[in-house]
Chains A and B, each alone.
Chain A
Amino acid sequence: MIWLTIISMAALVFASRYLFLEPKLPVRLSKNTLTFLSYSAPAVLTAIFAPIVFIQEGKLDLSLDNSYLICAIVATILAYTTRNVLLTTLVSMGLFFIIH
């Protein structure tokens, strides 16, 4: 069952990555669909990271004791001001492993 899960997941993930790289695929997406899709990366990535940052042990944690939140705020400020991925990830992860 685990192997079936792994292989079917792999097929699905690869298909999603490869589909639009196939030149024979006749792409006919409307402008509205493309506009809608253009928001997928920020929307999906945010929906993945937000619960990690804001929810601890099943509860919303907005306190200063939440090291995930503190370091996420630091990462946000660094990403916004420097737009430097290296600096943002290394400094915020480093800070996290120190204070966590």
Chain B
Amino acid sequence: MILPLTIAVIPWGILAGSFALDAGLSPLESQAMSAIVFAGAAQLVAVGMIKSGIGLTSILITTLLITSRHFLYGMAMREQISPMPLKWRLTLGFLLTDELFAIANQGKQHKLDPWFAFGGGFSFYVGWNIATAAGIIAGQSLPNLDSWGLDFAIAATFIAIVIPSVKKPSILLCVLVSLVSSLMCVLLDIQGGLLIAALLGMASGTLYAKLTGEKT
């Protein structure tokens, strides 16, 4: 599970590096984005906004929206991680990505081994940063890297994470509503479409579960 997700991170990291460069960031800034922010989706969306000349406030609101799923991951892992010493909490907190959340919540083990979580999280971090560096280098010599379709890696990873999580009709409805509304927002050129689509999906799922008395 750690290996495939590290592999899946690579094309996406290359894209993040070359895309940042393409948006006008310096190589150092492009690398720093991956090294300090370490959030694939947020980085790609923010870099796109920087390229379009959108202001910092809008970028941060969008970042908050994209990163808000980490509040949920934190809540879900609170029981396991909050009793750990500060250095583990800070380390695992920094490394808490979709991928780490996915590997830490596989199987039924109740006790999370911090070294296992660290091994996975750090592997994603290293893979992400090496791939970003490769993207920065390639982006300088291969200007049309964005036509290679590296962004499919994002779709493949998220499909691999989302599909197995659809265990109840309300989650299926949530996914379908989010899917259709995200497309509508992009096609109609609506700002903040990601936020709107995600909230609509979440509200639909919650409402459906409430109305049908679905077990949580």
Q: List the interface of chain A (C-beta within 8 A of B).
A: 1-10, 12-14, 16-23, 27, 29, 32, 34-55, 58-60, 67-68, 71-72, 75-76, 79-80, 83, 85-90, 92-93, 96-97, 100
Contacts and interface: CB of A to CB of B under 8 A. Distances in A.
Contacts of B46: 5, 9
B97 to A, nearest CB: 8
Nearest to B9: A89
Contacts of B7: 89-90
12 contacts: A2-B29, A9-B42, A10-B38, A12-B63, A17-B67, A23-B83, A39-B174, A41-B73, A44-B178, A47-B201, A59-B187, A80-B164
Contacts of A44: 66, 68-69, 178, 194, 198
Nearest to B26: A2
Interface of B: 1, 3-5, 7-8, 11, 25-26, 29, 32-33, 36-39, 41-43, 46, 50, 56, 59-60, 63-64, 66-75, 77-78, 81-83, 89-90, 92-94, 96, 98, 101-102, 148-149, 151-166, 170-171, 174-175, 178-179, 181-183, 186-187, 193-194, 197-199, 201-203, 205-206, 209-210, 216
A19 B71 contact: yes
B36 A6 contact: yes
Contact of A20 (B75, B156, B193, B206): B75
B69 A53 contact: no
Contact of A52 (B25, B60, B64, B151): B151
A19 B60 CA distance: 17
7 shortest interchain CB distances as A-B pairs: A20-B74, A86-B4, A43-B201, A18-B93, A79-B163, A47-B197, A47-B182
